[in-house]
Amino acid sequence: MACITTKRTSDGFSYLAVIHMLIAVMSLTLSNLLAKVCLSHTSVEFTILARFLVPLICMCCLLPFIKFDRSIDKKYLLSQMVRASAIVGAHYFLFVSIQNLSLAEAILLYNTSTIFIFLFDYIYEKTSNALSFIGILISFFGICFMLRVHHGTWNIYVIYGLLSGICVSVSQIILHKSSQRHSNFVTMFFIYLFATILSAVMAAIHFHTTVSFYKSIPPYIVIALILVGAGSILNQFFRFKAYKLVHNTTTLAPLMYISIVFAALIDYVFYDSIPRWSSVLGGMLIILGILVIRIFHMTGLLQSKARTR
């Protein structure tokens, strides 16, 4: 039975890939939960530093066993520096929103990157299907529902969540545009290296003004910070294994939204938090809009490829 699950089906689907993807989703969700716990005792900048430093240390331990087959050129390094900056920005806005929103809401807004990837693709590449704007419109109404809170006021931390999605989309676009000559390990090593340097500078600036605050960090928070980084690298590891088992990685993309369900359960169990009706409706509309974008966008790409043959 185990042998069957490790093989792809005729359409390139793999049940083992689904299992790996679910483990990746669980790791990322638990990492964000631990970040939320840490943020009650540390700063956003210090938590971001842990998020990238722990994976960097793990990868440095493996460097003696990795061969750099090609020379690293300046253009490649520059693209990875820009991408690392976008990733650090994404986590800054994500952690600020995690501090002030429910975990499920923050993760949902983080996953709006699909919307912005489509918009950038439509503006600069002109390859996106115009019908995908139906999904944009649906998601827009969902965002409006999430923005509205009590007495007609607007929640600015929803904007922070959307900014995290924008930064993720920039990171993904740079990844797609940058050279693929190097292995996944080499690429991730430079991402973690540059992200650690940038987050260390941010943490040092914050540390200089609040030295006494950091002296009171309890030991269990230090352990939690380490686990934040560990959850991050587990997410990357299992996601990479999942992607290797399928022909088309977009078939696994919808599984990422299961993290929102996990986060909602965590909110209820650990924080006794039940989302407002506006958040539930808004979240459903956003996810529906993203799925519509994916369907129409993929249809447009397939039609474009068919015409060029």
Question: Is the distance from CB of 125 to CB of 297 less than 8 angstroms?
Answer: no
Pairwise pLDDT comparison (44 vs 255), residue with the higher score: 44
Residue 52 predicted with pLDDT over 90? yes
Grade residue 307 by pLDDT with cuts at 50, 70 and 90. Answer: very low
Express each pLDDT in 173-182 by its tens digit: 887 766 566 6
User: Percent of the chain at pLDDT above 70?
Assistant: 80
Picking from 211, 270, 256, 210, the residue whose alpha carbon sits closest to that of residue 37 is 270
Indicate the average pLDDT of the chain: 80
- For the segment 183-188, the average pLDDT, to the nearest whole number, is 81
Look up the pTM and report it.
0.83
Per-residue exposure over 204-230, b if at least 16 CB sit within 10 Å of its own CB, e if not: eebbeeeeeeeeeeeeebeebbebbbb
Provide the pLDDT for residue 1.
36
More confident residue, 67 or 111: 111
One-letter amino acid at 299 equals T
Q: What are phi and psi of 148, to 5 degrees?
A: -80, 125
Residue 288 has pLDDT above 80, yes or no: yes
Which ranges constitute the DSSP H helices of 1-155?
Answer: 2-5, 15-38, 44-62, 74-100, 103-110, 113-124, 133-147
Let me know: does 174 contact 86? Beta carbons within 8 Å.
yes
Q: Decide if pLDDT at 291 tops 50.
A: yes
Position with higher pLDDT, 206 vs 56: 56
Residue with tokens 């914050």: 206
Band (126; pLDDT cuts 50, 70, 90): low
DSSP helix/strand/coil, 246: coil
Q: How far apart, in whole angstroms, are the C-alpha atoms of residue 237 and residue 25?
A: 11
